[in-house]
Amino acid sequence: MEAISPFVAIRRDLHKIPELGFQEFKTQQYLLNYIRSLPQERLDVRTWKTGIFVKVKGTSPRKTIGYRADIDGLPIGEETDLPYRSEHEGQMHACGHDVHMSIALGVLAHFARNPIKDDLLFIFQPAEEGPGGAKPMLKSDIMREWRPDMIVALHIAPEYPVGTIATKEGLLFANTSELFIDLKGKGGHAAFPHLANDMVVAACTLVTQLQSIVARNVDPLDSAVITIGKITGGTVQNVIAERARLEGTIRTLSTAAMQAVKRRIEAIVRGVEVAYECEAAIDYGAMYHEVYNDPALTAEFIQFAATRSDMTVIRCKEAMTGEDFGYMLAEIPGFMFWLGVDSAYGLHHAKLAPNEAAIDRAIDFLISYVSWKGNME
Ligand SMILES: CC(=O)N[C@@H](CCC[C@H](N)C(=O)O)C(=O)O
């Protein structure tokens, strides 16, 4: 039996119990059990819905350093053959939030036993994948009382090797908007299409027409993504579909670009309504602020990381991923960085399998950074 670190063991426990946004009940209980096993002298623990705030009191605090880990899973059926694969049918930690939590607990455990001058605030946040926990947590009374002076978070990066961190000053992640489009036509017998109004055909037209926005309406030197991740319509092969539904997400690099893309989406949907003589309704769902790293703190972090022989730090490009941590960074200076986990399969893939060697290396690295930042004069 391989000897594994306690935080790899924790990651594996959490990997078994992925839960969707604001349903992280087992996860929260697991986290609380561990947090309550730590020395409590310097801890103040409060829950917020399925999230948790943990204040670690410093010895002579001048500021508060915040650290956030997201805790929710995704509605994906796991396809790894890991012995600790998900025990929740159709749900998986396919975005590394289990790794995020185990790293946060490792750093918390250290500072619960080895306080620094400054206060720390650990935030275990629900519902990052949707509908978004960061914004309501940011507006909570607890956050108002314990608001940190800076805040940090990481996200696993399957494409980078273990021992690599990647980030950049300024814009790191896109802004996002979910996109739901419902179409209503007229059902009927498959053999008499002229007596019905087929919404499967209308939906398929819409999927391809929406892509013309990125190809023809967005400045080629800018970026945008419109992904339709799910399409449903109809009930059975020989009945013409009266209804169809498209579920997707929009990514852009600025508020102006998001507004322009939505204007085009609305024009194209209206056009499909006319062309197919149907009814269409658009809902934008959860929308996330872009992730904007504080230039000064990020440059300082990169400089610190460059002094560490056990980590390689690179300045990366922006990514079209979304992260509601962007709401926290819009109000509190800080940064997010990618953590290399060297997985053949990427984020949101059913076979994602992060290299667990990244966990303890990240814990050691973050302990050194927070100790440096939290003790500096
Ligand atoms: C890091 C990551 O994968 N984040 C998610 C955020 C999803 C936001 C929202 N539910 C949406 O789908 O737009 C991502 O998909 O980038």
Same domain flag for 180 and 161? no
Separation of CA 197 and ligand 1 centre (Å): 34
Same domain flag for 67 and 214? no
pLDDT tens-digit readout, 131-169: 999 999 999 999 999 999 999 999 999 999 999 999 999
pLDDT tens-digit readout, 87-104: 999 999 999 999 999 999
Query: How many structural domains are present in the chain?
Result: 2
Out of 70, 294, 323, 324, pick the active-site residue: 70
Separation of CA 288 and ligand 1 centre (Å): 9
pLDDT of residue 376: 84
Ligand 1 proximity of 325 Cβ (cutoff 6 Å): no
pLDDT of residue 3: 86
Interaxial angle between packed helices 357-375 and 97-113, expressed in degrees from 0 to 180 and rounded to the nearest 10: 50
pLDDT tens-digit readout, 261-315: 999 999 999 999 999 999 999 999 999 999 999 999 999 999 999 999 889 999 9
Q: What atom in ligand 1 is closest to the CA of residue 177?
A: 13
Ligand 1 proximity of 322 Cβ (cutoff 6 Å): yes
Ligand 1 proximity of 228 Cβ (cutoff 6 Å): no
pLDDT of residue 231: 97
Separation of CA 20 and ligand 1 centre (Å): 13
**Rounded Cα gap, residues 139 and 82, in angstroms:** 39
Same domain flag for 185 and 244? yes
Whether residue 1 has pLDDT greater than 80: no
pLDDT of residue 377: 75
Out of 24, 78, 129, 342, pick the active-site residue: 129
Residue ranges for the known binding site for Mn(2+) are: 95, 97, 129, 155, 348
Domain final residue pick, 256, 287, 318: 287
Q: What is the pLDDT averaged over residues 100-113?
A: 98
Whether residue 2 has pLDDT greater than 80: no
Active site residue 323: no
- The number of C-alpha atoms within 13 Å of 114 and in the hemisphere containing its C-beta is 11
Ligand 1 proximity of 173 Cβ (cutoff 6 Å): no
Q: What is the pLDDT averaged over residues 209-215?
A: 97
Same domain flag for 138 and 271? no
Q: What is the pLDDT averaged over residues 43-62?
A: 98
Pairing status of strand 164-167 against strand 312-315? parallel
Q: What atom in ligand 1 is closest to the CA of residue 174?
A: 16
User: What percent of the chain clears pLDDT 90, i.e. is strictly above it?
Assistant: 97
User: Are 179 and 282 spatial neighbours (Cβ–Cβ below 8 Å)?
Assistant: yes
Q: What is the pLDDT averaged over residues 317-335?
A: 98
Same domain flag for 353 and 330? yes
**Residue at 1 is within a domain:** no
For the chain, what is the mean pLDDT? 97
Same domain flag for 33 and 67? yes
What does the angle CA 263 – CA 264 – CA 266 come to, to the nearest 5 degrees?
Answer: 65
Same domain flag for 145 and 203? no
ipTM of the complex: 0.97
Domain that holds residue 190: 175-287
- The CA radius of gyration of the chain, in Å to the nearest whole number, is 23
Same domain flag for 121 and 31? yes
Ligand 1 proximity of 129 Cβ (cutoff 6 Å): yes
Active site residue 141: no
Interaxial angle between packed helices 6-15 and 97-113, expressed in degrees from 0 to 180 and rounded to the nearest 10: 140
